Structure 1
Amino acid sequence: MADFIGPRLYACYNCRNRVALHDDIVSKHFVAGHRRRAFLFSHVMNLVVGPKMDRRFITGLYTVADVECSDCGEVLGWRYEKVHEESQKYKESKTVLEKFKIVKDNW
């Protein structure tokens, strides 16, 4: 009898709280501060969204909110709340998680 293999997940590197599904990655070509790799996700889970703030990135001005693990409070990335540049609208309501702050779970 074969073992059931569930979805591939990502978890908080600090406490292993599951935060995203591999299948929800929109792009692996994002960069966080200090040239760190990051992934853009269409859906995330077990995260708390902080207060909204305006931030300027390479591609323009955005209204974003930091996202933190609901278990340990570690900031894992940010959520695009409002996108001002028309060419970047695909990011709106999506979440960026820094690669070094998430670990593979159930792979």
Structure 2
Amino acid sequence: MAEAIGPRLYSCCNCRNHVALHDDVISKAFQGKNGRAFLFSHAMNIVVGPKEDRQLRTGLHTVADVYCSDCREVLGWKYVQAYEETQKYKEGKFVLEKSKIAKENW
């Protein structure tokens, strides 16, 4: 029955633009600026902002904020570079804040 509905995904909480697939969730144990966040292997229908170095809980990273491509709501960030070896797995991945995304097709 789930196949008839389509894949479970997440959309922008503001405009309902599809931004990520549930199958691309790597971890639900991340912390965003405004609370809980999820780490995704991929994101879609987003705009990646300029890169900047940011001191996060797990050390210094080069990140770029990500925005909804429709309404420009800030949804989270993309890890561009990690400077600590133990954090390298995050490179190229996306953090989307739970408060900024909504479930679709659940």
Task: Quickly name the TM-score band, shorter chain normalised.
Answer: over 0.9
Alpha-carbon distance in 2 for matches of 1:104, 1:70: 18
Q: Deviations over 1:14-39 (max 9, x none)?
A: 000000000100000000125x0000
TM-score, length-scaled by structure 1: 0.94
Q: What corresponds to 1:99 in structure 2?
A: 98
Distance in 1 of aligned mates of 2:100 and 2:42: 17
1:88 aligns with 87
Which ranges of structure 1 fall in alignment gaps of 5 or more residues?
A: none
Q: Counterpart amino acid of 2:100?
A: K
Alignment match, 1:6: 6
SS at match of 1:66: strand
Identity over aligned pairs, percent: 68
Q: Secondary structure at the match of 1:89?
A: helix
Secondary structure of 2:86's match? helix
CA distance in 2, matches of 1:50, 1:91: 17
Aligned residue for 2:74? 75
Query: What residue ranges of structure 2 are gaps of 5+ in the alignment?
Result: none
Point out 4+ residue stretches in structure 1 off by more than 6 angstroms.
none
RMSD of aligned alpha carbons: 1.2
Between the two proteins, the alignment pairs up a number of residues equal to: 105
Q: What is the distance in 2 between the residues matched to 1:33 and 1:106? A: 27
